[in-house]
Structure 1
Amino acid sequence: MDCTHRHALVTGASTGMGRAIALLLADRGFHVFVGVRRLEDGQALQRLARGQLTPVLIDVTRHDQIAGAARAVGEHVGQRGLDALVNNAGIGLAWPLEIVPLDRFRMQFEVNVDGQLAVTQTFLPLIRQATGRVIMIGSIADRLTPPFVGPLAATKHALLALCEALRLELAPWNIHVVLIEPGNIRTEAGGKFERDAAAALQQFDPAGRCLYADAFRAMTSRFAARHAGGSDPDVVAAVVMHAIETPKPRARYLVGKDARLFALAARLPPLVLDPLRRRIFGLPRRRGAGASTRI
């Protein structure tokens, strides 16, 4: 067992921000355990890494896989413990809240909130051994909620609350809990969001299409365009690295070229902010009770 390295676990490491974080940590001398849902994704990461990287199967909704990963990591690190846990796994869902299927809404919370807490609970004994750090990858949506992305934004608000409570509860052991709040980041998730939104639109019932189709198309198109013009995921990785290594990390880090602008906009009063959001995302003006729309 080689315990000369510092050790970190990154969930949701197959693509995007998780992959960038895992590769940077490995490059900086960490032995990185990468949580993936398919071992071949982890093996692909191993080929890219310039340091030690070990794949572990983790679907954050499966407690058996989380427990199995904890056993594997614990056997490797021994009493040295885990220096950093980066909770990055997550999914996004775009639906109008009036018609979103509740099973899909619940799945957002199962992955983005319950899953993050389950992983954190399971690995905290190892983190405590090393006086390690817990890094949560959230979103600027915990400050500024776009239309039709209410399910995702709701989970990010919940994740913020978890971080606030955990930071206070773990402070007696000097375990820092840090929330990363990226703005638009250019990853594969942008294309998946657009494809998933198109598929969701096909599942709207006739009444839902009548009410929301045009506005939903406009929003998802503009949302995807902003995502494509976002910052590189390496920017997020660099901030995570800083949050792990600095002696006194901040509680929250805004990341990306548009994150601070969004955070400032979120402080505007609703009378100013709501019309601004409607223009940005192409939403229609208010409709009367008897107004008609096209299917």
Structure 2
Amino acid sequence: MECGKPHVVVTGASTGIGRARAARLAAAGWHVFAGVRRDVDARAVEAAAITPLILDVTREDQVKAAVVAVEEHVGPAGLTGLVDNAGIGVTWPLELLPLETLRHQFEVNVVGQVAVTQGFLPLLRAARGRIVVIGSIGDRMSIPFGGPLGASKAALGALTESLRQEVAPFGVRVVLLAPASIHTEAVDKVEQGARRAVEQFPAELRDLYADTYLGMVARAMARERAGSPPEVVAATVAKALTARRPRARYLTGKDARLLAAVGRWLPIRAQDALRRRIFHLPAQRGPS
């Protein structure tokens, strides 16, 4: 029997923002395919009347299998929406950042998103569907020690800009979401990752960075905990998927418009001074 619902794939739907997006769309009458990495998460989303896809975006075999599973269900009608949500956040002092860690950040946040988008584009073309890419307000205003994450989101934003123009002739619309402060369990993961990172700092350089780095992460994550709930972003995703004429870019979450304005209009020196004050960073030294 043919399913009469619109169909959407949401990657990174195990927890947090991704799970909230999948649940909201399912409640609104969408048939949701939720990309998760573990069987336990698959059972959880299945219990919420959502179809799980075991999908690690860095694994080519799982991306291909997910595309096949969705194609078998939707048939020639195609796929109405794809939400590229999967991602991780890495914070490190750039001088000490292991290159393999940087590669993994880009493998998940950039290469993995491209792989998923490439895989589902034929189905999206068939339905003249929409792609919603989850970026970050950090692509406009990077913070100290947040370079790996900010750089990956900036790269993803540039790719999204190009993709939007490339697939427009096929009737496929592409939207970039730029969330700001959002409270999810990812906050705890970032803090845990920061403590593990300090343990890996070379002993001779640890004193240069450890206190400043951990203090910055703690203050940044405190702002995230005071941020908007994941449902705020989920509502913006729903709008991007259903609006008659969606915007190319949506800001969402607490302080998103303020941060975008600061990143666009405030001079760099003033931005640096503001970040030093917010994150309690050491004062900049002049020439000796």
TM-score (norm 2): 0.97
Q: How many residues align?
A: 287
Residue 278 of structure 1 pairs with residue 276 of structure 2:
yes
Partner-residue secondary structure (3-state), 1:266: helix
Query: For 1:32-57, what per-residue CA distance to the aligned partner results, in whole angstroms no more than 9, with x for missing partners?
Result: 0000001220211222x3xx411011
Aligned residue for 1:45?
45
Deviation per CA, 1:50-100, whole angstroms, max 9, x where unpaired?
A: xx4110111000010000000000000001110000010001101001110
| Structure 1 position 174 matched with structure 2 position 142 | no
Structure 1 gaps, min length 5:
291-295
After TM superposition, the structure 1 = structure 2 runs for residues 2-151 of structure 1, keeping only pairs within 5 Å, are 2-47=2-47, 49=48, 52-151=49-148
1:184 aligned counterpart, secondary structure: coil
Residues 289/100 of structure 1: CA separation in 2 closer, same or farther (3 Å cut): farther
**3-state DSSP of counterpart to 1:32:** strand
Is contact 2:8-2:33 (8 Å) kept? yes
Residue 250 (structure 1) aligns with: 247
SS of equivalent residue, structure 1 residue 191:
helix
Q: Summarize deviations over 1:233-273 as a string: whole Å, max 9, x none.
A: 00000000000000110011110121111111112111211
Cα distance in 2 for residues equivalent to 1:193 and 1:108: 13
What code does the residue aligned with 1:45 have?
V
Maintained 8 Å contact 1:3/1:80 = no
Question: What is the one-letter code of the residue matched to 2:272?
Answer: D
Question: What is the distance in 1 between the residues matched to 2:272 and 2:73?
Answer: 51
Q: Does 1:224 align with 2:221?
A: yes
Give the Cα–Cα distance (whole angstroms) in 2 for the partners of residues 257 and 153 of structure 1.
Answer: 18
SS in 2 for 1:178: strand
Helix, strand or coil for the counterpart of 1:136? strand
> RMSD of aligned C-alpha atoms?
1.2
Q: Where does residue 198 of structure 1 map in the other structure? A: 195
Is this contact kept in 2: 1:239–1:255, CA < 8 A? yes
> Which residue of 183, 186, 204 maps to 2:183?
186
Tell me if the contact between 2:137 and 2:259 (Cα under 8 Å) persists in the aligned partners: yes
* Percentage of identical aligned residues: 56
User: Hey, what's the Cα distance between the residues in 2 that align with 1:30 and 1:110?
Assistant: 29
Q: Is the 8 A contact 1:160 1:179 kept in 2?
A: yes
Ranges of 4+ aligned residues in structure 1 off by more than 2 Å: 286-290
Q: Distance in 2 between matches of 1:71 and 1:58?
A: 12
Query: What is the TM-score normalised by the length of structure 1?
Result: 0.95
8 A Cα contact 1:8 1:32, kept in partner: yes
